Structure 1
Amino acid sequence: MTDLGKMRLFLGLEVLQRDDGIFMCQRLQVEQNGGELVNETYYKQIVGSLMDLTASRPDLMFVVSPLSRFMSQPTEMHFQAAKRMMRYLKSSTSYGIFYKKQEYEELVAFTDSDYAGDLDDRKSTSGYFFLIGGSAVSWASKKQPIVTLSTTETEYVVATGCAQQVIWLKQVLEEMGSKQDGSIVI
């Protein structure tokens, strides 16, 4: 066990532990956790542009996905995160995907998740990444539809979603004439 000190936040509640008692409030929720609201139209344009870039930049998905959840009523905190992403893009303009020519095109899947990463509703984020012949062909990053109770359950949820996508991709590849023999490695 690790002692993390006194609890300060719990499911959106701010907890102040003092000698004379415990005070709980939702001040952070009321103040919208991010400060003043920013120009919604401008924020949508930035996030929309970032979403377009994910077609050739899977490295952006993990950040663009949560940014897109705040399209209505974005705050200064969200705008600063979007600007940080734009600075990252400026330093990595030549990044992209390389498709290497190969004879055998084996489908391989990678998956990962963060446990209770969204501090507002404690839902986890799932990520999938699919390679054929060592080249990226499909990827996704999205919030899980349920609140999981452990890291193990979170990994089962993401593995199940990934397996569903693998079965679909395997069928699509078969229709295109690229039969995948044996099991698919996840």
Structure 2
Amino acid sequence: MKPPEGFHNSNPNLVCRLKKAIYGLKQAPRAWFGKLASTLVSFGFVSAKCDHSLFIHSTANSITYMLVYVDDILITGNNADFVQHVISTLNKIFPLKDLGELHYFLGIEAKSLNDGKLLLSQSKYASDLLHKLKMQDAKPVKTPLAPGCKFQSTGTEVAEDPSLYRSVVGALQYLTITRPDLAFTVNKLCQYMHRPLQSHWKIVKRVLQYINGTRDHGLLFEKSHNLHLIGYCDSDWASDQDDMRSTSGYCLFLGSNMISWMAKKQQVVSRSSTEAEYRSLAALVAETQWLKSLLT
């Protein structure tokens, strides 16, 4: 490790011995990840080409996955003895704390149910957001968006607190990790960050009302003998009244489990509904190819 700027050393040939990356340095995350990655590679793990934070150890009889986010690590596999061996070996190199079975990770709650089912949700994150905005007692509604609701950037009644709007919509974006039912509405709200109107803020409050009645909603994963990737896509046509661009949407299932979804405004104007549909299909195919490379 090179000495940090401002550190004067009479011998320019000396370097610092890196024991633990210092968070204050710009290169600290890179230095830490490089050290951890080289250690895992020495154990026989291989970094996935489509996601460098995913490490895979595969033999004829077992497979182990390790997902890294800074210094938080998830590890799973079909050989419990090898998983424990990896944990104990890592503990000798990096002091770590084994938290046991997965329950909470980066704001996402994991709950094991009967018959091997797994529920991923963000109920605590949603509750904290509602309490922060004093919306915990808001009357629940059945849909995040009212029927026939239109989004427009034209108007003179600007939101009272644009910074609050951006903060709340940003928080809602993180909530869409386990809530595909919010993806379309949140995507629309994100398009008005630069100049939110009072009408947009009213939609945000409706979304919060919807969340108040669906805090425990999430993604349910269950065992499936069918591991085929199945995708569905759709698109409207020129729905944006400001620039006449269309909105694409897709969802992908691995067996019976939804693992990927998207709602996004297209980058260019489509001259026909067919063209808009093909753009949506192209986005689905690109995501399918990425997931295919991740699974193989």
Q: Which residue of 1 aligns with 2:249?
A: 127
Partner SS state of residue 97, structure 1: strand
**Shift in alpha-carbon separation, 1:34–1:97, aligned structure 2, 3 A:** farther
Q: Which residue of 1 aligns with 2:53?
A: none
Structure 1 residue aligned with 2:165, among 10, 29, 43?
43
Whole-angstrom distance in 1 between the partners of 2:159 and 2:184:
23
Q: Which residue of 1 aligns with 2:201?
A: 79
Which letter does structure 1 place at the counterpart of 2:181?
D
Whole-angstrom distance in 2 between the partners of 1:36 and 1:152:
36
Name stretches of at least 5 consecutive residues in structure 2 with no aligned partner: 1-151
Name stretches of at least 5 consecutive residues in structure 1 with no aligned partner: 1-27, 175-186
Q: Which residue of 1 aligns with 2:176?
A: 54
Question: Post-superposition shift, 1:139?
Answer: 1.1
Whole-angstrom distance in 1 between the partners of 2:249 and 2:289:
16
Whole-angstrom distance in 2 between the partners of 1:100 and 1:77:
40
2:181 corresponds to 1:96: no
Structure 2 residue aligned with 1:159, among 271, 275, 281?
281
User: For residues 75-100 of structure 1, what are the alpha-carbon distances to aligned partners after superposition, in whole Å with 9 as ceiling and x for unaligned?
Assistant: 10110111111111112222211001
Whole-angstrom distance in 2 between the partners of 1:37 and 1:140:
27
Partner SS state of residue 138, structure 1: strand
Which letter does structure 1 place at the counterpart of 2:291?
L
Question: Post-superposition shift, 1:38?
Answer: 2.5
**What's the TM-score once normalised by structure 2's chain length?**
0.47
User: For residues 93-140 of structure 1, what are the alpha-carbon distances to aligned partners after superposition, in whole Å with 9 as ceiling and x for unaligned?
Assistant: 222110011233111111111111111000001011111011111111
Whole-angstrom distance in 1 between the partners of 2:156 and 2:204:
13
Q: Is the 8 A contact 2:158 2:195 kept in 1?
A: no
Whole-angstrom distance in 2 between the partners of 1:50 and 1:99:
22
Whole-angstrom distance in 2 between the partners of 1:68 and 1:170:
29
Q: How does 1:15-54 map to 2 (within 5 A)?
A: 32-33=154-155, 35-54=157-176
Question: Post-superposition shift, 1:34?
Answer: 5.9
Which letter does structure 2 place at the counterpart of 1:169?
L
Q: Which residue of 1 aligns with 2:146?
A: none
Whole-angstrom distance in 1 between the partners of 2:197 and 2:289:
40
Whole-angstrom distance in 1 between the partners of 2:264 and 2:184:
8
Identical residues among aligned pairs (%): 34
Whole-angstrom distance in 2 between the partners of 1:92 and 1:130:
23
Q: Which residue of 2 aligns with 1:63?
A: 185
Q: Is the 8 A contact 2:169 2:186 kept in 1?
A: yes
Q: How does 1:163-182 map to 2 (within 5 A)?
A: 163-174=285-296
Larger Rg: 2
Whole-angstrom distance in 2 between the partners of 1:34 and 1:53:
30
**Shift in alpha-carbon separation, 1:158–1:34, aligned structure 2, 3 A:** farther
Q: Which residue of 2 aligns with 1:137?
A: 259
